[in-house]
């Protein structure tokens, strides 16, 4: 529970704020582009900070990094709550993002405790929570903003951060291997070819999910001319699919091995994107022609992510913190680039989103094929499994 909360803190904080952006704009009398800086700059800060926290955790330990990161996260939330001007609010969001980025070490903790096979299952369960948290946060953000004003969102975020800090203080034990700081360093992941392989699978499949997130609003509201509430339905369907993918991975991964699970998930996502494109090309411009394939896109990526991450971290057991931070950075970098490209291309053709999903899923599949077809599956019995 604590590890899932650490990873989900950043995305949940962003989703809580998104419904409040119009109210923030009205409060400060600012333009849309200026208010959007509170989102875009926080993503940039999180990406950069993610690279730093992992190596620090390899040197100083996971628990101190989690505690300091949560403290920074709470401080940033308080700055946002009390911000008298928009620049101060943006500064608070940057500070908040720097703190939230420390949550990436949760993947390293999973690797420390469970090893390769167990890590895949544990990350699958964490992925389920990560998929549900932003959905709940988006709904809660709108309700809180309407009832109490946008500043109340940051009061809630700070309170959640304080609760997480208390739980971390009382329940999270240090997991870093005693010799990790002596064997690995920040550059260790860059020297391991197997890390590159699995990191590419994770980044490309996450890019497919960002293509869905970036393209769905335009697809639903502009192309299909449906109300904005319909986008909420598609987002929920994709998130539920992602959570179900994590559940399937947790139950089947130990039997079939991480490579074959990645291959299966990538195949599902690629075929779902292709099916959506074919349905639209054939003239089926309906909500369900988008929503149903999106559910399978989420399902496929929910299967790929925990297994690709577990494979990458298994390649750097002596620098799991640096590996986890590099993974997070690559996911954010790829996701941002794909989201920007899909956003631009969607103004020319609505097929950009499903085709991008299909291509990224196919690329993940191609990278995985040689190992998936030639390697013995990892048995769950070879590794300790996380508690149910």
Condensed to tens digits (0 to 9), the pLDDT of residues 317-371 reads: 777 788 888 888 898 888 888 887 887 888 788 899 999 999 999 999 988 877 6
* 62-66, 232-236, 304-308, 331-335: range with lowest mean pLDDT: 232-236
Q: How is residue 103 written in tokens?
A: 């949550």
Say how far apart CA 68 and CA 228 lie, in whole Å: 39
Q: Which overall architecture, per CATH, does domain 2-176 show?
A: Up-down Bundle (1.20)
Q: How is residue 271 written in tokens?
A: 């075929």
**DSSP 3-state assignment of 277?**
helix
The angle subtended at Cα 327 by Cα 321 and Cα 331, nearest 5°, is 150
Look at domain 183-377 and name its CATH class: mainly alpha
Q: What is the mean pLDDT of residues 72-94?
A: 96
369 or 372: whose pLDDT is higher?
Answer: 369
How many other CB atoms are there within 10 angstroms of residue 377's CB atom? 16
Q: What is the mean pLDDT of residues 238-244?
A: 88
Q: Where in the chain is the domain with CATH 1.20.1250.20?
A: 2-176, 183-377
Residue 287 has pLDDT above 50, yes or no: yes
Q: What is the mean pLDDT of residues 186-213?
A: 81
| Number of helical H runs and strand E runs in the chain | 14, 0
Going by pLDDT thresholds of 50, 70 and 90, the confidence category of residue 106 is confident
Please check whether residue 49 is in contact with residue 173, taking contact to mean a CB–CB distance below 8 angstroms. Answer: no
Residue 222 has pLDDT above 60, yes or no: yes
Q: What is the mean pLDDT of residues 56-77?
A: 93
pLDDT digits (tens, 9 = 90+) for 117-170: 677 778 877 777 777 777 788 778 888 888 899 999 999 999 999 999 999 999
Report which secondary-structure segment, H or E, holds 247: helix 228-256
Report the pLDDT value the prediction gives residue 186, as an integer from 0 to 100: 52
Residue 33 has pLDDT above 80, yes or no: no
């Amino acid at each position: 529970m604590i590890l899932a909360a650490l990873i989900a803190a950043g995305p949940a904080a962003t989703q809580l704020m998104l419904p409040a952006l119009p109210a923030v704009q009205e409060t400060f009398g600012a333009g849309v582009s200026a208010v959007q800086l509170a989102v875009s700059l926080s993503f940039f800060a999180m990406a950069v900070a993610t690279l730093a926290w992992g190596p620090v955790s390899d040197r100083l330990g996971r628990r101190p990094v989690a505690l300091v990161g949560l403290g920074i996260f709470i401080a940033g939330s308080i700055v946002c709550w009390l911000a008298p001007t928009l620049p101060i609010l943006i500064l608070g969001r940057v500070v908040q993002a720097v703190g939230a980025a420390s949550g990436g070490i949760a993947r390293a903790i999973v690797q420390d405790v469970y090893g390769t096979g167990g890590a895949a299952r544990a990350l699958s369960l964490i992925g389920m929570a990560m998929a549900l948290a932003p959905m709940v946060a988006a709904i809660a953000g709108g309700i809180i903003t309407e009832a109490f004003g946008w500043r109340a969102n940051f009061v809630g975020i700070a309170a959640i951060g304080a609760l997480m800090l208390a739980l971390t203080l009382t329940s999270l034990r240090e997991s870093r291997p005693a010799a990790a700081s002596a064997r690995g360093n920040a550059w260790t992941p860059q020297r391991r070819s197997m890390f590159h392989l699995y990191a590419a699978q994770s980044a490309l499949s996450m890019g497919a999910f960002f293509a869905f997130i970036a393209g769905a609003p335009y697809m639903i509201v502009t192309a299909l001319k449906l109300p904005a509430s319909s986008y909420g339905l598609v987002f929920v369907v994709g998130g539920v699919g992602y959570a179900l993918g994590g559940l399937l991975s947790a139950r089947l991964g130990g039997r079939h091995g991480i490579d074959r699970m990645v291959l299966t998930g990538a195949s599902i996502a690629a075929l779902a994107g292709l099916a959506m494109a074919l349905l639209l090309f054939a003239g089926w411009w309906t909500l369900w022609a988008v929503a149903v394939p999106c559910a399978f896109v989420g399902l496929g990526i929910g299967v790929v992510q925990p297994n690709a991450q577990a494979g990458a971290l298994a390649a750097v057991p002596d620098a799991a913190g640096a590996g986890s931070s590099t993974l997070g950075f690559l996911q954010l970098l790829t996701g941002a680039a794909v989201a920007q490209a899909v956003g631009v291309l969607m103004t020319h053709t609505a097929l950009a989103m499903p085709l991008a999903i299909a291509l990224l899923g196919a690329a993940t599949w191609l990278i995985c094929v040689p190992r998936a077809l030639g390697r013995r599956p990892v048995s769950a019995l070879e590794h300790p499994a996380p508690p149910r």
